[in-house]
Amino acid sequence: MFKNKKQSISLSQYLSKYKFGISMYILVYLIAGAGIILQTILFAKVIENITLSLFKNSIILLLIISGIVLTKRICWYLSGVLYQKYANKIMADLNLDLAKQAFKLNSKTYADHETGKFVQRIVTDPENVVRSLADLVDLITDCVTSFVMIIYIATLNIFISIAIICIIVFCMIIENIRRKRNRKNKFIMRRKNDKIYSLTTEIVRSEKDIKSLGLEEKLSEISKNYYNEYKKASYNYEIKDMNLWSLRNVIIEIFGILLLIFGVYLIDISILTLASFMIVYSNNGSLSSFVWCIGKIMDIFLEIKVCTDRMFSLFDNKEFVCEKFGNLHIDEVKGKIEFKNVSYSFIEYEEQNDDNFLSKKELKAKKNKKRKIENVNQIFNNLSFKIEPNTTVAFVGKSGSGKSTILNLMSKMYEVDSGEVLIDGVNINDLDKDTLRNSISLVSQFPYIFDMTIKENLLLTKKDATEEELQSAIERASLKDFVATLKKGINTKVGESGIKLSGGQKQRLAIARALLRNSPIIIFDESTSSLDNFAQEDIKRSIDKLKGKSTIVIVAHRLSTIKNVDKIFFLDNGKIEDIGTFDELFEHNIKFKNMFYAENIK
């Protein structure tokens, strides 16, 4: 029922896994619902018996009703227990699969979308779906109960039954109009909410920068604008929904009064008995309840539709592009790297509307129309170079020359437009995931440190590492003195995103993780930029110790950190302008020499 139109994945496959538990939940809920129906009918009989002065029968019926009430309450309790048990399991399965799918997405996909889009789809939407399914069972039970009572009332008189059918049809037409209007507005609200979530996440993560730069007022203004946009979309949704909802309620209430007037008239002409009129009167709310339940059921189906489409859109490789790997496995990578006629451009596309609220005509036009390109920034054109195994090389150049892009292409975070990136003579597109990921370790300029202990952060890269290996990695990354000052040592928690660590300490921990992994290729992307001169010298010595054991690729602004590398590639405007050792470039490349002097290093 809730199958994603773009993918074969569907909500039913998650529900079928727990079909026994879900069936038991529905069963006990239906028993409770049947109790409500039986209780309502018996109450009607009680009224009828009282009007006929059959008081003894009324007391017996009331005793039966008390037993039904007890059974109903037990069933509701059991349904609550079953809901808590299986709802959590279904949500956990959805969260896990969506998180796993998020791991498969390529880096450009993350760059093209807001953080809120991913977090809402992975965390919030599954919870909304499961909660909505439970509400759906509840509402369907109430709807069936009301419907049975409507049928019961309708059987009392043919004229009353015709009137009820007419009003239900009319109200259903209004509900269908309301549902269609709500669909588009609900998706717009969710998109606005994604923006709020993304901004809030950024504010929390950048709290120190915001305070130090005095950005509170500016970001408050941006937040206010985002919230105003959301409130405007929410108001637009709610007011349009309320207009049709109110119109339907007014019609139902007026009809209820007219129905009673009609009932009095039928009594007056001896077509309806007083007992039947009392049943109609006491259950007059059943019609309103039935139409209300139908409306809420439509709302819940819309909510589930919106959430499932958003969740499972992560599996749509057109909107959220996944990484692609080959099938070739190499047991022992030596570490030779080659770029052969590589071209790469950063392309920005025009933002598109969600398919979910486009009409069929608009969907067809969208499929036949290519995505509009807003901006193209060519980084490389026919870039070629080689890095021999177990050598240490560096890429230098001014900002924007393409240094970090080379590293992203080398580690397959980005896909080349044309040409080849080779590892040990094999195109990285042909390598399987294990070979590629296990052969390369990347230490970025702004590494992410998880909300765990120092030890747990290290064990992420090698879960079976010995204490000796851990201590060695810590020492080689110049973390030993810092760890020694901590009361709990390597068992100290570092906070979310390593908030309890300085920038330099974060980088040292990230370097320790890479050293512990001991990959044949280790990439350092400005990984000493936050270190003081003493720590920088320690890291330089650590890197020097790796020379000849791994292929080391370094991107650095500080030229003093790469004096001892085997080869330097000097980049300018996306091209390798010069290649040589530090001394060779310093001797004959004026741009390189000026960069060195600009650092005021003597």
What number of other Cβ atoms are within 10 A of residue 473's Cβ? 24
- Mean pLDDT of all residues belonging to the chain: 80
- Give 3-state DSSP helix, strand, coil % of the chain, rounded to 5: 65, 15, 25
Residue 424 has pLDDT above 90, yes or no: yes
- 103-128 average pLDDT score: 81
Residue 207 has pLDDT above 70, yes or no: no
- 188-215 average pLDDT score: 71
Residue 347 has pLDDT above 60, yes or no: yes
Q: What contacts 285, CB < 8 A, 6 or more positions away?
A: 256
Question: Hey, what domains does the chain have and what are their CATH numbers?
Answer: 19-315 (1.20.1560.10), 337-598 (3.40.50.300)
pLDDT band at 425; cut points 50, 70, 90: very high
pLDDT band at 391; cut points 50, 70, 90: very high
Q: Which two tokens stand for residue 415?
A: 């896909």
Q: What DSSP line would sit under 492-530, residue for residue?
A: -B--GGGTTS-HHHHHHHHHHHHHHHT-SEEEEESTTTT
The pLDDT of residue 295: 77
Residues 518-531: tens digit of each pLDDT: 889 988 887 665 56
The pLDDT of residue 426: 93
Under 8 Å between Cβ of 446 and 475:
no
Q: Which two tokens stand for residue 473?
A: 């990695």
Kindly state the DSSP code that residue 445 receives in the 8-state scheme. S
For the entire predicted model, the pTM comes to 0.67
Considering only CA atoms, which of 401, 442, 407 is closest in space to residue 570? 401
